[in-house]
Amino acid sequence: MAMHVALTFDDNFWAPAYATMRSVCLFTHRRPELVFHLMHRTLTAEHRADLEKIRDEFPVELRFYDLDQSEMFRDIAARMPENKRLSNIVYARLLIDRLVGPDVTRVLYLDCDMLVRDDIGALFDLDLEGNAIGAVRDPAGALITGQRDLLKNRDIFDPADPYFNAGLVLIDVAQWREADIVGRMEAAHASGVMQRIYYDQDLLNLIFKRRWLKLPWRWNVVDARPAHDGIDPAIVHYTGETKPWSVFAHTFGSVAFARVYRHVMTNELFYRFARHRWKRWWKKKLGLGR
């Protein structure tokens, strides 16, 4: 049975996307079953070629989706609140059911700032017990929704309701489609709710309230620090400001599995990505674009 994995990213995140994909491949024996759905924008031919090299090492299938050619995505990205740090690519996962083919009935969505350390086959085969999705509870959920003193948006969220991190979502595609996520987002935008909440993650928590299966914590360990090295997380999620490709991660040991991550990305790509980020930083400083 095919294991469908979806990632969303723009050209500035092509190397982390590769690292996440390669970590999935490295830590499963079911490599021939893997189908990666790569939903991207602004991807250069050079960086697409880097992603395609994964097939030289593993017997996987790659399906590319150019969101720059999607009128629906361009419309949503232009109108919805913009995430300055993550870019409007965050809205791409909401379109998964509209992008994947009819052969896909279940898909595992992964953020591209993740390192997989265990066999996702065990996760992919889980019984969702009738729920639309499976996800891991976010330890900072009440703070994300309520913010200072947990008082904000109390008319929208109840802090007593479990809140999941949407960096990993195991999706029943039929129920995802039935939820009419894009329609619900349009309604939330018209009512002013989208302008008040934390982008698509909050929206998904509203749509799938009490309709999600709580997965074991080890499948999405957020803000992964060195202390997490010893508790054997299945997936580490680098949600903090310091990422494993940052020089500070290696100099000060501030994130979990930083050395492992570098070699999962591969040394060659790791240093090429560092040069890409350095050039981008200088362009911003000099006002020469993003």
> In this predicted structure, what is the pLDDT of residue 286?
67
Helix H or strand E segment including 172: strand 164-172
Amino acid at 156: I
> In this predicted structure, what is the pLDDT of residue 89?
83
Of the candidates 166, 23, 179, the one whose C-alpha atom is nearest the C-alpha of residue 90 is 166
CATH number, domain with residue 91: 3.90.550.10
> In this predicted structure, what is the pLDDT of residue 282?
64
Query: Please, is 279 exposed, middle or buried when counting C-beta atoms within 10 Å of its C-beta (0-12, 13-18, 19+)?
Result: exposed
> What's the Rg (C-alpha) of the chain?
18
- Average pLDDT along the chain: 92
pLDDT tens-digit profile of 3-54?
A: 999 999 999 999 999 999 999 999 999 999 999 999 999 999 999 999 999 9
Amino acid at 46: E
Low-confidence ranges of the chain (pLDDT < 50): none
Can you tell me the distance from the alpha carbon of 152 to that of 239, in angstroms, rounded to the nearest whole number?
A: 22
User: Is residue 100 a part of any domain in this protein?
Assistant: yes
What's the residue count for the chain? Answer: 290
> In this predicted structure, what is the pLDDT of residue 281?
62
* Total of domains in the chain: 1
Per-residue b or e along 106-134, where b marks 16 or more CB atoms closer than 10 Å to that residue's CB? bbbbbbbbbbbbbebeebbeeebeebbbb
What is the DSSP code string of 120-165? HHHHHT---TT-SEEEEE-TTHHHHHHTGGG-TTTTT--TTS--EE
User: Is residue 290 a part of any domain in this protein?
Assistant: no
User: Is residue 217 a part of any domain in this protein?
Assistant: yes
User: Is residue 277 a part of any domain in this protein?
Assistant: yes
User: Is residue 89 a part of any domain in this protein?
Assistant: yes
User: Is residue 228 a part of any domain in this protein?
Assistant: yes
Helix H or strand E segment including 99: helix 96-99
> In this predicted structure, what is the pLDDT of residue 160?
95
- For residue 208, the enclosing domain spans 3-285
User: Is residue 120 a part of any domain in this protein?
Assistant: yes
